Amino acid sequence: MTWAEFQIRLQGYKRGENARFEMLRELMWVTYVAPHLDPKKIAKTKQSFMPLPIDKKKRKGVGELQKQNFIKVFEQWQKERN
């Protein structure tokens, strides 16, 4: 197995794990939001109730360093192209 194949399989494995964690969070949320609890004291969203690492990635976006690196490489590519 090459490194590229390994990375593809690893990405698929992580995606499957994230899907399982999201299903688990959904199940826990349904049991957490019970009619006998005080609605003022419980968490308002699933994300605040049980944050997952994938939620942080979705909100975060691209970092400043990545933007600078992309712009630098893109400018080099444009120079080579012309």
At 5 the pLDDT is 93
- pLDDT, tens digit, 9 for 90 and up, residues 9-43: 999 999 999 999 999 999 988 888 877 777 788 88
Answer yes or no: is pLDDT of 57 > 70: no
Instruction: Decide: residue 5, CB within 10 A, 0-12 exposed, 13-18 middle, 19+ buried.
Output: exposed
Other CB atoms closer than 10 Å to residue 18's CB: what's the count? Answer: 15
- Give the dihedral of Cα atoms 15, 19, 24, 30; nearest 10 deg: 150
